Every structure is written in structure tokens, then in C-alpha cells.
Amino acid sequence: MKQIVELILKPNFVADIANGYPLILKEAAEPIDGTLEEGTILKIVRPNRKYIATGYYGKQNKGIGWILTNNPKEEIEEVFFAEKFKNAFKKRERFYESTDTTAFRVFNGEGDGIGGLTIDYYDGFYLASFYSEGIYAFRKTIFSALKEIVNFRGIYEKKRFDTNGQYVEQDDYVEGEVGEFPIIIRENGMNFAVNLNDGAMTGIFLDQKNVRLALRERFSEGKTVLNTFSYTGAFSVAAALGGAYETTSVDLAKRSLPLTIEQFSVNGIDYEQQQIKVMNVFDYFSYAARHQLKFDVVVLDPPSFARTKKMTFSTAKDYPKLIGEAIDITASNGVIIASTNNASFNMKKFKTFIDKAFKEKNKRYKIVEQYSLPEDFVTLEDYPEFNYLKVCIIQLLK
């Protein structure tokens, strides 16, 4: 039996939680006793000790835990998780049926009722990501509920709860078939090589699926495409399959070169006809400007925060500058695809970054398409702040 501890909310935070806000903010209650174990069930009460909700204690960025239910009788045991999973899988039925797309998110944290836990499906393999020690404390129950409900080839996990949601290095295999990685998954008919047991990332960011499709279908034919912060080159693959004249992928991580070659190859694209540069994007911008290179399409998909020996980059501070650099090397009438997964600002703010950059360059533009998380990344309608992805497709105007 898990211990249950009462957490008395400060008056200002009662209404939000009572109305369904899922995150227990650090400042919502008096500091929790340092000896309390993460994973402890919290009975969340009003200052007068009346029940509001049940949650769990788990430290993650701004929060100290997540709400799980507002039913005082509901116990947080296997049936609880099984029910949540069932509902979530039901919502993804049509994804399971597709042969065109064989990787997608099946459980999206608070959007599916359990903050701090996501589960992705990769062609028969399930990958569970745990975002705090607290949710990891339920690991056994979670996997046993999962196994009750789905047939699987294998299960893998990521612990993402080192300080600030960093990945904890480990062997990520849990049970079932040991994957022979890379496995090839499909997304809207494109192939992607995926490795579930090689660090924090798998080779593909599933949340960009609609953007990859848009790039392939509407912005690539006959175009030159620069893909910055390209990682395994997934956007370059989409562009090449969409008929791009040439793609250029830029990423400073050495591993990006073999991984990008692999992504092209599993799609039958001759990587020697494409450019792959292992270098700092900002150095590449200078190089391109010096050589007066212009691209029809420039993709910007930086990490929220990055530090190299020479510099630090933060999307919240430096995005306008990044767009400015991109404008300089985008052909007139070209397109910039600007993306960020930084949850600390919203789409409105993101658009002010775009506007600022274009004003500074004295250029006109039009946002022709915009994207947030795709349908399988279920989010709470009332709380758009958890829908972290923001992508604008921007057309430069003469």
C-alpha cells in the first residue's frame, strides 16, 4: 500500500486545481518535507482540509507533481492506469490501423490523464518516458497495466529525470523482444531508421509529423532546402522525397553525419547528391552569407537551449536573431519554417519574435501555415500552455 500525504493548497491555487488544471506548481503549497519520497500519493485539499483531488509527488521543472483524479474513492493502482491507457489507445485506433504510419504517440502525459508519462509506439515496440522519480515509482504497475492491454514486440523506457528533465544514461530495454536497431518505421509513407536504445533521442521526433508532410507536399518540389539543427535529417528526407532540387543538412553533432546518411538511404535517396555539414549553424550562416548562397526554403528547428564552447543559444532570447540570419540567406519569395518546442512562451510570443526579425531586416512576410502538436499528442483544450510545439511557415514577400 502506498503512503498518502495531505497537501494543503494555498488559497490562490484552489480554483485552478478544482477546475482541472493538472500540474501542482511548486508555489501552490508550502514546501514539501525533503524526506518525503517521490511517488507518494498526495491528497490535495483546500485550506479548510476539504478534498479537491488526488495526485502524486514528483519533481519536474515548474511542478512538484500532477493531479491524477478528482474522485476521492479512486485508488491509484493498476486498474487506474489500465483505464487511462485503454482510453488513450482508443483515441489512436486509426493510427494503429494505418500501414502508412507505424510510429506515433499513444499516451501523452497530462493530455491523457497522467502528467509526467509519455508512451510512444514504434512498429510493435513501446517506449515509455518517465519525467520524474515520482512517476518512475509507479513503473511496475504501469508496465503491468500496459501489458494487460496491448500486444507488443518489446518495451523500452527512458528516464528523463536527471536535473531539468535530462536523460539518465542506462540500458533502456525493459522486456519482450530485444530490438535489432535500427528498426525502420513509416510515417506518411516515408521511412525512418529508429534506435530505442541509444541515448535520449530515437532518431525521429514524432511531434513534427505534420510539418514534415507539409514540407514534402507543398514546399519542396524543385527547391533548394537548408535544414538547420538537422539531427538525423528527417526534414531533409521529407524535402528530398517531395522533389527538392538539393537539401543541405547542418548539425554540429558528429553522429548526425552517419545518421543522416542512414535516413536518406532507407528512403532510397542517394545521399551523395545531398549536402550534409557537421558544423555550427551560426558558422554556416556566416559561410553562406559570405558566399552569397540563397535557399528557397530554410528550416529552423533549434533545441530550446544549447551551449557550445563558444556560445550559448536560448530560443526565448535568441530566436529573433536566428530568424534574422535565416532571412539573409533565403531567396526572395522563399520560405522559412520556424519551429520551437520551448514551453516557456506561447505562439503569440513566438510570432512577436518573427515580427521583430523581419522589421529589423526591413522585409515583409506572411505566415502561410502554422502548426502545434499533432492529433496523437493529445493535449488539454483548456490548457494550451502544455501544447509546447509552435511552428510557423513564413513566406518572404517582395
Shorter beta-carbon distance to ligand SAH: residue 85 or 235:
235
Nearest CB to ligand SAH, comparing residues 80 and 229: 229
Count of residues engaged in binding ligand SAH, rule: CB under 6 A: 21
Gap between the Cα atoms of 85 and 328, Å rounded: 48
Report if residue 235 touches ligand SAH, rule: CB under 6 A: yes
CB of 170 to ligand SAH, least distance (A): 21
- Strand, helix or coil at 7? strand
- Of 104-112, 156-164, 274-282, 286-294, which segment contacts ligand SAH by CB under 6 A? 274-282
DSSP letter string, 201-265: --S--GGGHHHHHHHHHHS-TT-EEEEES-TTTHHHHHHHHTT-SEEEEEES-TTHHHHHHHHHH
Query: Smallest distance, Å, CB 329 to ligand SAH?
Result: 15
CA gap 227, 205 in Å, rounded: 15
Please state the closest distance from residue 365 (CB atom) to ligand SAH, in A. 21
Q: Of 296 and 301, which CB lies nearer to ligand SAH in the complex structure? A: 301
Least separation in angstroms between residue 189's CB and ligand SAH is 17
DSSP secondary-structure letter at 352? H
- Return the residue of 56, 66, 122, 231 that touches ligand SAH, per CB under 6 A: 231
- From the list 287, 273, 281, 278, the residue with the least C-alpha distance to 224 is 273
Which residue, 291 or 309, has its beta carbon nearer to ligand SAH? 309
Q: Which is nearer to ligand SAH, 129 or 208 (CB)?
A: 208
Torsion region of 124: left, alpha or beta (phi above 0 gives left; psi -120 to 50 gives alpha)? left
**Rounded to an integer, what distance in angstroms lies between the CA atom of residue 109 and that of residue 148?**
19
Sign of the torsion formed by the C-alpha atoms of 298, 303, 305 and 310: negative
In this structure, are residues 321 and 359 in contact, taking their beta carbons and an 8 Å threshold? no
Query: Among 79, 168, 253, 368, which residue sits at the site for ligand SAH (rule: CB under 6 A)?
Result: 253
Query: Which of the residues 157 through 216 are near ligand SAH (CB under 6 A)?
Result: 205, 208
Q: Which is nearer to ligand SAH, 314 or 370 (CB)?
A: 314
Bridge partners, residue 313, by sequence: 306
- Quote the strand ranges of 85-167, DSSP E: 103-108, 117-122, 125-130, 154-159
- Choose between 208 and 387: whose C-beta lies nearer to ligand SAH: 208
Among 229, 285, 377, 386, binds ligand SAH (CB under 6 A): 229
| 372: Cβ contacts below 8 Å, ≥ 6 apart | 347, 387, 389, 390, 391
C-alpha cell at 5: 500525504
Diameter of the chain by CA atoms?
Answer: 69
- Using the minimum distance from each CB to ligand SAH, give the nearer residue, 176 or 303: 303
Among 220, 230, 248, 267, binds ligand SAH (CB under 6 A): 230
Candidate segments 13-21, 89-97, 109-117, 249-257, binder of ligand SAH by CB under 6 A = 249-257
Within residues 206-225, the interface with ligand SAH by CB under 6 A covers 208
- Least separation in angstroms between CB 295 and ligand SAH: 16
The kind and range of the H/E element at 283 are helix 281-290
- Tell me how far, at minimum, the Cβ of 317 lies from ligand SAH, in Å: 14
Handedness of CA 245, 251, 256, 257 (dihedral sign): positive
Contacts of 93 (CB under 8 A, 6+ apart): none
Q: Which three cell numbers stand for residue 118?
A: 509519455
- Residue 153 in grid coordinates: 514486440
234 binds ligand SAH, rule: CB under 6 A: yes
Which residues inside 275-334 make contact with ligand SAH, applying CB under 6 A?
Answer: 280-282, 301, 303, 306, 308, 313
- Amino acid sitting at position 67: I
Q: How far is the CB of 186 from ligand SAH (least distance, A)?
A: 16
Least distance (Å) between residue 339 CB and ligand SAH: 7
Query: Which span (131-139, 180-188, 191-199, 227-235) binds ligand SAH, by CB under 6 A?
Result: 227-235
Which residues contact ligand SAH by CB under 6 A? 205, 208, 229-232, 234-235, 250-253, 256, 280-282, 301, 303, 306, 308, 313
